[in-house]
Amino acid sequence: MKITASTEIYGVMGNPIRHSLSPILQNGWLEEAGYNAVYLAFEPKVEEFASALNGLALSQIKGLNVTAPFKSSAAKLAVTKTDDVAIIGAANTLRLSPTGYDAHNTDGKGLVLDLDNRAENWREQTKIITILGVGGAAKGILSALIAAAAKEIRLVGRDEAKCREIVELAKSLAKSEAIIIHSYGWEDMAQAISGADLIINATPIGLSHDNSLSLDFGKTAAKAIIYDMTYAQKESDLLKSAKAQNRMALNGIGMLVGQGAYAFEIWFGHLPDFTKGFERLMNMDR
- Catalytic residue positions? 71
> 3-state SS string over the chain?
CCCCCCCEEEEEECCCCCCCCHHHHHHHHHHHHCCCEEEEEECCCHHHHHHHHHHHHHCCCCEEEECCCCHHHHHHHCCEECHHHHHHCCCCEEEEECCEEEEECCHHHHHHHHHHHHCCCHHHHCCEEEEECCCHHHHHHHHHHHHHCCCEEEEEECCHHHHHHHHHHHHHHHCCCCCEEEEEEHHHHHHHHCCCCEEEECCCCCCCCCCCCCCCCCCCCCCCEEEECCCCCCCCHHHHHHHHCCCEEEECHHHHHHHHHHHHHHHHCCCCCHHHHHHHHHCCCC
